Chains A and B, each alone.
Chain A
Amino acid sequence: MITSELRHSSDQLSVAGRALYDLDQVSLWERETATLPRPLARRRRKYRDFARQYLAPLVEAADVDPAGYDPRPLLTQAARAGLQSEMLPPPWGTMPMGSLRSRSLVHEVLKAEELTTVCAGLALSLLAHGLGTVPLVLSGDLGSIRRWLVPICRENKAGRPRLAAFAITEPAAGSDVEDSEGAATARYRTMARRVEGGYVLNGQKVFITGGAHADLVTVFATLQPDDGSHGRIDRDWTCFVVERGTPGFRSGRSEHKLGQRAADATELFLDDVFVPTANRVGAERSGWALNRNVLNYSRVPVGAIALGIARGATEAATDYCRRTHLGNKPLLAYQEVQLTLADLWLETMAMRAMVWQASRHVPPTQAVSSAVKTFCGDRAVSVSSRAIELLADDGAIATNGVEKRLRDGRLNQIYEGTNQLNRLAIIEAQWETDFGAAG
């Protein structure tokens, strides 16, 4: 609160002194938005408004009964709003000009934060589509971009959802496929065999976000070596587009999970699936590098998802403390409550500073992306845990909006490589420059 004494005192400052002293009553969100280039500031408002209008009414139903929740209407609204075609600039897609000029991920992290602040599960159900298209972009393969990405953007811009998903994880290979050491020995079963005119794929994927509804999936498979050996993912991995409806390709069950429940985590089965050569994304055996770079690009927005979760928990806790009384005063009036709330806000601000800074690294690098993903995932859990504790018993009640944030945030310590693995990835990536050789 700015007291009248402070206001009066500031009026006594010189003109220059007053100009250097900001006493405007502006929310933190507005202050931070004002630091963005104007096109991105507009985009941030748009994402926030979209989340409030279209995600908020669905949060409870999608969390309580994800199997009964129909995502199609939301996907259609998101497509119409241009949220599902931002991987290409106009005229093909809707990438904001600010991002195009800076070649940055800023709009992606703004979108992830704003959508996730309302609901991480619904946000993920939208964001997973972007992840599914990233291999197409990063392959640098103009053929794949023309064949797959341009039509995806065109359809979505027209309000007809056409969705992609990204498939690397297998039943016996989770973090293995996100780590060099694990990759060399991973028990990886999805194989590709070269045949006349294309490839035949066999195997199984698990925990594929968006797998239940995706129209096409970027599938990583080990290309059978010519010497008949089993092959290694770090040498033989290759990315393919597999379209829904392809004979032999089907989705299985969607897992029951702790949080982010509105976004499905689905099994995919490939039984003698033939894909033509044109469905190969990039060159044969380029999949390992492609996968690693996809993760470099995706882990920063994943950090922003964690940021949105923390912000959602913080805002819900603040709202609770505003409307709940202890004695004849609102909770907000008590010092111990203010101390905790301040911690929630400052942790969220620190996360945002890190996410925004990292989103300007072009191209993103393994160390920075893993650092953002890890730090923000851990902080999201910490912030939502403390928010629950602040609300005490009411923190465990679903309608107060914080327990879901903890359930949601817990996934951010696991997916896109566990946080343990991401910590090791920081060391691995900077070994030559900052750790081993530099020592």
Chain B
Amino acid sequence: MSTQVRGDLDLLLDTVDQFAGKAEHRLFAEESPDGDLEAIGDLLLDAAEIGLLADVDEDVGRWGVWGAHVNDEGPALSLAVLRRLGRVCAGLAAAVHAQGLGVLLLGSKGIEQSLPPGTRLGAGFCPPYGLALDPRTTQDRIHLVDDRLDGTARFVLSAGTADAVALAVHAPSANGGAAEAVVILPVETPGLRVVPSGRRVGLRAVTMFDVVTDGVRITQEGQQCCGSSPADRLRTTVAADWLGQAAIALGCAEQAVSVARTYTQSRVQGGVTISEHAAIRLLLSRAEYDAAVVASILDRHADTPLAHLDANTLLRWAIDARIAVGEHASRAVTNALQALGGYGYMDEYGLSKRLRDLTALRVLHGGPDQLLLARNDLGAAS
């Protein structure tokens, strides 16, 4: 990344900081376990206005999270934005992230003519159980046969109410071979149902739903959106998803440790602040170490343009980062919570919310064993 670009990015990150400060004030002005979720819509409008949201119009959303810049500059900026937003609210960060995934899955070239700027997207690529990358899930995924879609994509994320969904589907070819396709469908398409995912442990600020297709006819316009290399776009989107989750989790963990540091420096036990107790020092030192591990993994290829990374290297990196969410970021948050004792368990310090959000992140779009098996199937690193 050039010095000029780096300088511009620093300016952008200052804007992100201002936005994050505003978001924190709006969401958590009053004690509420998940913040004021009514404010999310306005915050996402602000995020779009300052360019944090990727967009189907490449020029509008170029510098947004997972916008077109990642192909030339690498994902460093997207990861930095998500990390900073993750400090405030992981669910808000996930909403910004979700829009980028939709754009990534579609690929900018194929969609410019069919969707207006500002379209809110959901990216659907998860089978009912397991990973789309796992060949064992093939029959469980949405199938595209004879211009008809049937099946379910689960756990689709979007920044507020989605206008359209981008779906990675299994499209067996006429000669019996298997293929991937990506289609774009407005949510009001006949035969398509959007089913809310139900009450979940965390990340409540991001919209999550299942997409059920039952004989959905693919129009000519929809087929145009299939574009080239859908299998590559699916892999890139899945990798970006896991990397983004890790960045959000990292921000969440860093903020949890910061809250715990502040608390332990004011709470007295045994005649000294508890920050002097070995038990607390161990908890928080380990938490900081855990956060550093996640940061280190995320840095591995952050400055490498995505176009320069081969698919396996990208996926291996993303899997490592996502597994670190469960093994390290989660431990950082739970150790920070532990340092506050009973107060950490109560909602008022915000650590219980961060633990809930991390619990959702550690399994979002794949459990660790599923990821490890997928990593194994990628083969040895070159």
Binding site for B on A (CB under 8 A): 64, 169, 172-176, 181-182, 184-187, 206-207, 255-259, 265, 324-328, 331, 336, 340, 381, 385, 388-399, 403, 406-407, 410-411, 413-415, 418-421, 424
Residue contact A185 to B270, C-beta cutoff 8 Å: yes
Q: Which of B15-23, B42-50, B338-346 contacts A (4 or more CB under 8 A)?
A: B338-346
Summarize A's interface: helix, strand, loop or mixed: helix
CB of B62 closer than 8 Å to a CB of A: no
Pairs A–B under 8 Å by Cβ, sample size 13? A206-B342, A255-B348, A258-B352, A325-B140, A326-B136, A326-B137, A328-B139, A336-B369, A388-B363, A390-B367, A393-B363, A395-B363, A418-B341
1/0 per residue, CB under 8 A from A, across B246-272: the answer is 000000000000000000000011110
Residue contact B201 to A396, C-beta cutoff 8 Å: yes
- B357 closest partner in A (C-beta): A396
- A187 closest partner in B (C-beta): B268
Chain B contact patch, size range: 35 or more
Find chain B residues with CB under 8 A from A381 CB: 334
State in angstroms the CA–CA spacing of A410 and B355 once bound together. 10
- Known A-B contacts A389-B326, A392-B129, A393-B363; A169 and B139 likewise in contact (beta carbons under 8 Å): no
Number of A-B contacts (CB under 8 A): 143
B126, B201, B352, B368 interface centre (most CB from chain A within 10 Å): B201
Residue contact B341 to A174, C-beta cutoff 8 Å: yes
Find chain B residues with CB under 8 A from A325 CB: 128-129, 140
Find chain B residues with CB under 8 A from A184 CB: 270
CB of B114 closer than 8 Å to a CB of A: no
Find chain B residues with CB under 8 A from A336 CB: 369, 373
Residue contact A256 to B200, C-beta cutoff 8 Å: no
- Known A-B contacts A258-B356, A326-B136; A175 and B363 likewise in contact (beta carbons under 8 Å): no
* Smallest beta-carbon distance A337→chain B, Å: 8
1/0 per residue, CB under 8 A from A, across B324-350: the answer is 001000100010011001101111100
Residue contact B129 to A324, C-beta cutoff 8 Å: yes
Residue contact A255 to B346, C-beta cutoff 8 Å: yes
- Known A-B contacts A327-B136, A389-B326; A407 and B368 likewise in contact (beta carbons under 8 Å): no
Find chain B residues with CB under 8 A from A397 CB: 197-201
State in angstroms the CA–CA spacing of A411 and B334 once bound together. 11
* Smallest beta-carbon distance B319→chain A, Å: 14
* Smallest beta-carbon distance A301→chain B, Å: 19
CB of B365 closer than 8 Å to a CB of A: yes
CB of B279 closer than 8 Å to a CB of A: yes
Knowing that A327-B138, A392-B367, A414-B342 are A-B contacts, what are 17 other residue pairs whose CB atoms are under 8 Å apart, sorted by A's residue number?
A176-B270, A187-B268, A206-B342, A256-B31, A324-B129, A325-B140, A331-B129, A336-B373, A385-B326, A388-B362, A392-B366, A393-B363, A393-B365, A396-B363, A398-B199, A410-B337, A424-B279
Residue contact B345 to A389, C-beta cutoff 8 Å: no
CB of B94 closer than 8 Å to a CB of A: no
- Known A-B contacts A175-B341, A395-B367; A182 and B270 likewise in contact (beta carbons under 8 Å): yes
